[in-house]
Amino acid sequence: MAFEDLPLDPSRPVAPPPPPRTSATRWIVVIAAAMAGGALLTFWWMSRVQPSPAAPVPTVATDVPTSANRPDRQPMNLPGLDGADTFLAELVMALSRHPVIARLVATPDLVRAVALAIVQIGDGKTPASPLAALQPSGRLQVIGAPTGTLNPASYERWDAATAALVSVDAAAAAQLYVNVKPLFDEAVVELGQPGGDFDLTIVTAIGTLAATPDISDDPVLLRRPGYFEHEDPTLRALLPVQKQFLLIGPDNRRQIMDWLRQLATNLDLRLN
């Protein structure tokens, strides 16, 4: 009640003051006030001493984890194997317009042909039939007869096929492969490959080619009816695809192996 509201007429009795609080009541009030004050003080202290989140310490370069190279599969609707020729050809031609690539993607039953070729390379066979589009023009030549050193000019027959392969960016090829890998998995299942994982087929094929010895001299060849054979018994004991790989020349071999290793790196494939 405000002061101006007090009654000023002495003739009117003034209401007696409220009785003094008992000791018990006074202690309850004191304890409640103390608890409230303690809570406020605790809240203030915690807000004052609680450390703010520290800024993250910059990580040195050696601590930064490297992300996986293998690209994520991009969503796309894949056709069946029987209708995949045009679909895959358009995707490959988007990566390279090299004329040899154009001949290769015109191969009938393209996915099955490429899958068979990679399987055959891994098995040590020469994929002459499925990769017929890559067959060079001209004949292999030797200096001398019936035995002679391979004419280095014969290596040039494979320059176009090598140039076609390396014209495709390895990282882009890895992305394309990841996108269409289910087609190749299905194709190797048809070929009887256990597991149906085309990654393993690629690793095996690259390993077979990588095991080809690196010779410094042009090989000496023996002329046989309809073909040539290596004179060196060590080279003659190689797998057929490795003996053929020697005949494309050291520069072409180096370019092809460099590209295949880049592809494997972009797919996170571990080579032996």
d(CA 220, CA 155): 14
The length of the chain is 272
Q: Are 96 and 164 within 8 A, CB to CB?
A: yes
What's the token pair of residue 147?
């035995």
Closest CA to 247 of 119, 126, 129: 126
Q: What is the pLDDT of residues 99-149, one digit of tens each?
A: 999 999 999 999 999 999 999 999 999 999 999 999 998 888 899 877 899
Question: Is the C-alpha dihedral spanning 263, 133, 119, 77 positive or negative?
Answer: positive
pLDDT at 48: 39
Helix (H, G, I), strand (E, B) or coil at 181: helix
Q: What are phi and psi of 142, to 5 degrees?
A: -120, 155
Q: What is the pLDDT of residues 201-212, one digit of tens each?
A: 999 999 999 999
The residues of the chain scoring below 70 in pLDDT are 1-67
Share of the chain above pLDDT 70, in %: 75
Angle CA(118)–CA(111)–CA(246) in degrees, nearest 5? 25
pLDDT at 67: 53
Q: What are phi and psi of 143, to 5 degrees?
A: -95, 100
Helix (H, G, I), strand (E, B) or coil at 234: helix
DSSP per position, 10-74:
TTSPPPPPPPPPPHHHHHHHHHHHHHHHHHHHHHHHHHHHSPPPPPPPPPPGGGSPPPPSSPPPP
Closest CA to 169 of 98, 270, 89, 250: 98
DSSP per position, 253-272:
HHHHHHHHHHHHHHTTPPP-
